[in-house]
Amino acid sequence: MTETVVREIERKYELPEGVALPPLDDLPGVEVDVAADVFDLEAVYFDTSDLRLATHRITLRRRTGGDDAGWHLKLPAGPDGRDEIRWPLGRASRTVPAELKSLVTAYTRGAALAPVARIKTTRTRRRLRDTGGAVLAEVVADEVAGQTLGQESTVSSWSELEVELAGGRAELLDTVEKRLRAAGVRRSASGSKLARVLADRLPDARSRRSARRKKKSVGVVVVDHLREQVATILEYDPRVRRDEPDSVHKMRVATRRLRSALRTFKSVVDRDATRAVGDELKWLAGVLGGARDLEVLRESLDRKIDATPDELVVGPVRARVTGHLAHQQAQARERVLEALNSKRYFALLDALDDLAENPPLTRGAADPAARALPNTLRRSHRRVAREIDAAATLPPGEQRDHLLHEARKSAKRARYAAEASQPALGKVAKKFAAAMEGVQEDLGAHQDSVVARQVLRQLGMQAHLAGENGFTFGLLHRGEQALADAVEERIPAVRRAVRGAGRRLR
């Protein structure tokens, strides 16, 4: 049995009693099916007893009826989108397939999954097509009956509309929405049928957040940033487990941003209280970093081999690179999955939940953001300037490489701090973040070259000992050295960029 993944981009609308679906066949370039498809659908939704999946906009259901019967796991993917992972029905109706169960481990953390709701829907579907007959979107009118399951059972019913993109452009959703609004149809207050059925049992996070955003303290800005990173770590956990492209990178960045914020904003969030969490974030970032660094290195070497003229690629160069790095990548992925299934990781997630809900704020957290945040950014800037100046005084070599790497890490932390400050400081923080990102990229290219040269030297030696010609590895090594030399020649320009970024904060 194999899974199917569908990117679902849709909008839901209330369908008030007495309001009919307005005509859509006169929209530019759109034709509507004359005959509608009618389905009777039944879905049983699974969650933990405290609704951990629904709280995070995740739905896990077993649906019968219609043309997509099966197990469905829906993961958030942007404001209007979700990735729907589909799995065949199978014989078991009350046991979640192990493959789907594993993808929500970061949310369940060992808690049992059981039926929490049953929803029956009579669906009337019409397809919107272009003039050539290709499906652009689907408009469905649903008559819904929902029932909560468990010790207490409640029943509800309502009518709603869904507009889901198929092959059309996102602008079509806006066009259809304008027509619906003109007819008195409004967006649904619930993001899903399940959220509506379980409404009385779900926490109202939006009202809590909106109330907090009315304030302008530095604590509000920092805590919102921390919560955003915690949410991102959770969001990318199932994607890392599925080995989706760039998922390890995104999860690693969120982990680093969170750890960096705890260090940078220690005058806002008590550093002593978060030190243990910071140490565990360092561990997680290290595990993810092992996989990500190998991924970046392999992509870089493959790209540079592709750019090398065929006559200069002597011997089984690509096969040796692949053989050397593929094995290491497989081991790194095993370490990532082992970490994500460990009690240590679950304990970290519990600690992050507590951090997000009960942040240990200091007295300084009450200070106005507009006054406190520029001071933090200036301190971050001074550290970057100090380290890049120190590196510039040294001759080329290992010590200079080390100081440039440290300056790069400091530039990254300064950038993260500026991005966290942007909701309060606006363009000032945005421009400072952009400047620090430029410094980070310049110095990052230098560090990537240092790592690549070490690997190329090792591969060249292996090729030599195997009786192969190591010419191409030497050629690639020289290319990496040239890249590093070019960065070092730009150090005066980098120092000027750092000074310029500091002037923006005055």
Residue pLDDT, tens place only, 415-465: 999 999 999 999 999 999 999 999 999 999 999 999 999 999 999 999 999
For residues 98 and 92, the model is more confident at 98
Six token digits for residue 256: 């680093």
pLDDT digits (tens, 9 = 90+) for 231-279: 999 999 999 999 999 999 999 999 999 999 999 999 999 999 999 999 9
pLDDT classification of 167: cutoffs 50, 70, 90: confident
The reported pLDDT for the residue numbered 243 is 94
pLDDT classification of 90: cutoffs 50, 70, 90: confident
Q: Give this prediction's pTM.
A: 0.88
pLDDT digits (tens, 9 = 90+) for 331-357: 999 999 999 999 999 999 999 999 999
pLDDT digits (tens, 9 = 90+) for 170-209: 899 999 999 999 988 999 988 789 999 998 888 764 444 4
pLDDT classification of 221: cutoffs 50, 70, 90: very high
Residue from 77, 70, 73 nearest 5 by CA: 73
Q: What are phi and psi of 84, to 5 degrees?
A: -105, 115
The reported pLDDT for the residue numbered 81 is 76
% of residues, the chain, pLDDT over 70: 97
Averaged pLDDT, 398-404: 92
Residue at token pair 């923006």: 504
The conformation of residue 87, written as its DSSP 8-state character, comes to E
**Cβ density class 474-492: b for 16+ within 10 Å, e for less:** ebbbebbeebbeebbebbe
Return d(Cα 47, Cα 107) in angstroms, integer: 10
Residue from 306, 287, 277 nearest 248 by CA: 287
Return d(Cα 270, Cα 361) in angstroms, integer: 6
Please say whether the beta carbons of 348 and 284 come within 8 A: yes
pLDDT digits (tens, 9 = 90+) for 301-312: 999 999 999 999
The reported pLDDT for the residue numbered 168 is 82
The reported pLDDT for the residue numbered 212 is 47
pLDDT digits (tens, 9 = 90+) for 364-393: 999 999 999 999 999 999 999 999 999 999
pLDDT classification of 2: cutoffs 50, 70, 90: low
The reported pLDDT for the residue numbered 470 is 92
Q: Which residues pair with 161 in a beta bridge?
A: 13, 141
